[in-house]
Amino acid sequence: MSKILAAIDEGGANTLLADAIASIPTLSSSGSASLGPFSAGYSVHGHFASGGVDLIAPSTVRIQHLRFVWQMTLSFGIDLNDFLPHFCLPRVCVDIPCVGRVCTPKICLSWPTIGVSVPFGDFVEASADFGIDVSLSAGQWSVQIAVQNLSQLQFGPATAGILFLIGAAITPLLLFIPFIGPFLAGAVDIILASIGIAGLTGFLGPILSPFLAGLKVPVYQQDKHFKVLPSSGPVDPDVFIELDAVSAQIQHSDEDELVLSVDISP
Amino acid sequence: MSLTGTHEVFASIDEQALNDILRAFFNARPRYRHYGSPAFVPATTVNETAIPAIAFPGVPGGIDWRIRFSTPVIDLFEQTQPLLPGLVLQPGQFSLHTDIELCVNCVSRKDTRSDVANARASRPNRPDHVTCTKLGVFGIGHLDVWNNPGGDGAVRLRLDSVELVDIKPDSLETVLECVIRMILDGILSSIVLPLKALRAGAFELIVSEGPEIEHNHIQAFGNV
């Protein structure tokens, strides 16, 4: 069997995977979710930063402190009708001599919906165990590591201040409402305080965890019809070999190594 | 014992894979195995390389010749292929075996007066009387490698000595061995194999040790 072997130790894998993870394009998603009594639309985007790599035989790559640095914009619509009673001016009729009976229409006041967009960002990190996937698709060999197990998400320190940012964005708008503004602002602050960190991470977790849980990091990608030498003129065409089989595993000896094995033929 | 040793990255290609790459090279570019002067090869193509005839006074157009050889088979130290008695494969070396066909266009001059009338009908650019011999060639050589801090690098096979099979007298064998060594070394030195290809594109590798021949492999060590 015709073999090409390539091996990389944990130190090299740290560099290799840090570069590979950093080259993953920005990921994004959007949707809506409930934050306490509020329904909020969100759009989130972010990128990954690698952590410490631990190679575990026979086929696990563990990355500790795998970090997803994210930016999110929350869009709240606070419908004041949910908080305040409906207020209607009743119909009033007056008898006017020589004119007759004149009535005013019934007038109901609808409270406005206050829209607020709150941008903020932080990071979330976890320890992730990746499995090794080797595939041949559309004439290309691909070796990538894909998340199989993810530890509990750990949010960055800025996450704790997000409720404050939301309150700070909403309160000034509510204070503009005559008479009841301060009351409303106080009510919203109380609601936000009741949501607390647990409620916030419960809101952010389902939004952010799919990014980490679905992470795949490319380790090796080459055409099966592999170009050894490019053409250097009309009488010197490209030179190709065939990569017949590719395998990858973690080998343990006096150190742990990611070993790639490639069978070739002319 | 780990593959990487004290380095971050290790890459190796075994001798069979190296031979597969050489076979792929010569299959794609047969002209590196087939050479001929104008009577044999009027122009360079993918299949053949045109070379000048051997100039000699009194031989119009020179001596036309052709050389072809089979795809060489490389054996990286340690020895696993048979060698001629005069050759010893040392650490860091490779051996090579190929068969060479050497031909000359053996013409008789046709410029006596009686031949002149027929000269117009002659075809001076076609082989007249081709005489060939086939030789088995064994050789010993070493790697010629280079690399830079950017991770680029390449390997060439360089031939140091050859032995021919069953040539007498010895002086003729020595002359032919010298000529064939120069020819084969010239051909092999024009085949530059990138290090990236020798590791099938796997990982980044800034070489700090090697590439070197070891245990039937060409191997290199370095960092990402």
Encode pLDDT of A44-91 as tens digits. Answer: 999 999 889 999 999 999 999 999 999 999 887 777 777 677 778 888
Q: Give pLDDT tens digits for B12-24.
A: 999 999 999 999 9
Residue B40 lies in a domain: no
Residue B60 lies in a domain: no
Which residue of A4, A11, A257 is in closest CB contact with B13? A4
Residue B214 lies in a domain: yes
* Helix (H) or strand (E) segment spanning residue A218: strand A216-223
Q: Chain A: residue nearest B219 by CA?
A: A5
CB contact under 8 A, A12 and B201: no
Which residues of chain B have a CB within 8 Å of the CB of A228? 21, 24-25, 193-194, 197
Please state the separation of Cα A18 from the chain's center in Å.
19
State the maximum Cα–Cα separation within chain B, in Å, rounded to a whole number. Answer: 81
How far, in Å, CA of B163 to CA of B184, rounded?
A: 12
Residue A48 falls in which region: left (phi positive, over 0), alpha (psi -120 to 50) or beta: beta
How far, in Å, CA of A262 to CA of A2, rounded?
A: 8
Q: Give pLDDT tens digits for A204-259.
A: 999 999 999 999 999 999 999 999 999 999 999 999 999 999 999 999 999 999 99
Domain spans in chain A, listed from the N-terminal domain onward: 3-265
To which residue do tokens 């944990």 refer? Answer: A10
How far, in Å, CA of B217 to CA of B220, rounded?
A: 10
Which residues of chain B have a CB within 8 Å of the CB of A11? 8
Of the candidates B211, B156, B213, the residue with the CA atom closest to the CA atom of residue B189: B156
B117 has a pLDDT exceeding 70: no
In this structure, are residues B53 and B43 in contact, taking their beta carbons and an 8 Å threshold?
A: no
3-class secondary-structure state, position A257: strand
User: CA of B141 to nearest chain A CA: how many angstroms apart?
Assistant: 22
| Residues composing chain B | 224
Residue B149 lies in a domain: yes
For the entire predicted model, the pTM comes to 0.83
Which residues of chain A have a CB within 8 Å of the CB of B198? 4
A239 touches chain B (CB under 8 A): yes
Residue of B7, B8, B14 to mutate, testing the A interface (most A Cβ within 10 Å of its Cβ):
B8
CB contact under 8 A, B46 and A226: no
Provide the token pair at A256: 């742990």
Of the candidates A222, A51, A67, the residue with the CA atom closest to the CA atom of residue A134: A222
Which residue of B4, B17, B205 is in closest CB contact with A264? B17
pLDDT at B129 (0 to 100): 87
CA atoms within 13 A on the CB side of A167: 19
Which residues of chain A have a CB within 8 Å of the CB of B205? 6
| Phi, psi of A199, rounded to the nearest 5 degrees | -65, -35
- Give ∠ CA B161-B167-B169 in degrees, rounded to 5: 105
How far, in Å, CA of B89 to CA of B81, rounded?
A: 10
A193 has a pLDDT exceeding 80: yes
Of the candidates A75, A79, A91, A68, the residue with the CA atom closest to the CA atom of residue A31: A75
* Helix (H) or strand (E) segment spanning residue B100: strand B93-105
pLDDT at B91 (0 to 100): 95
Of the candidates A205, A221, A203, the residue with the CA atom closest to the CA atom of residue A213: A205
pLDDT at A188 (0 to 100): 79
CB contact under 8 A, A240 and B24: yes
Count of CB atoms situated within 10 Å of the CB of A181: 15
Which residue of A8, A220, A241 is in closest CB contact with B21? A241
How far, in Å, CA of B154 to CA of B196, rounded?
A: 8
User: CA of A194 to nearest chain B CA: how many angstroms apart?
Assistant: 51
State the maximum Cα–Cα separation within chain A, in Å, rounded to a whole number. Answer: 114
Residue B209 lies in a domain: yes
- Name the percent of chain B in helix, strand, coil, to the closest 5: 20, 35, 40
B121 has a pLDDT exceeding 60: no
Which residues of chain A have a CB within 8 Å of the CB of B201? 220, 222, 226
Residue A31 falls in which region: left (phi positive, over 0), alpha (psi -120 to 50) or beta: left
| Confidence band, pLDDT 50/70/90 cuts, at residue B127 | low
Residue type, B187: I
pLDDT at A128 (0 to 100): 95
Which range of residues forms the domain containing residue B215? 9-33+69-223
Q: Give pLDDT tens digits for B132-191.
A: 999 999 999 999 999 888 878 999 999 999 999 888 899 999 999 999 999 999 999 999
How far, in Å, CA of A63 to CA of A68, rounded?
A: 13
Provide the token pair at B75: 């054996």
| Confidence band, pLDDT 50/70/90 cuts, at residue B124 | low
Query: Which of the two residues, A33 and B93, has the higher pLDDT score?
Result: B93
Q: How far apart are the first and last CA of chain A?
A: 12
Q: Chain A: residue nearest B197 by CA?
A: A228
Q: Chain B: residue nearest A218 by CA?
A: B203
Q: Give pLDDT tens digits for B61-93.
A: 899 999 999 999 999 999 999 998 888 999 999
Residue type, A85: P
In this structure, are residues A76 and A118 in contact, taking their beta carbons and an 8 Å threshold?
A: yes
In this structure, are residues A242 and A265 in contact, taking their beta carbons and an 8 Å threshold?
A: yes
Of the candidates A75, A70, A67, A63, the residue with the CA atom closest to the CA atom of residue A27: A70
| Confidence band, pLDDT 50/70/90 cuts, at residue B26 | very high
Which residues of chain A have a CB within 8 Å of the CB of B21? 228, 241, 264, 266
Which residues of chain A have a CB within 8 Å of the CB of B28? 237-240
CB contact under 8 A, B202 and A15: no
| Confidence band, pLDDT 50/70/90 cuts, at residue A149 | very high
A232 touches chain B (CB under 8 A): no
pLDDT at B152 (0 to 100): 84
Q: Count structural domains, chain B.
A: 1
Q: What is the arithmetic mean of pLDDT over A1-30?
A: 93
User: CA of B217 to nearest chain A CA: how many angstroms apart?
Assistant: 9
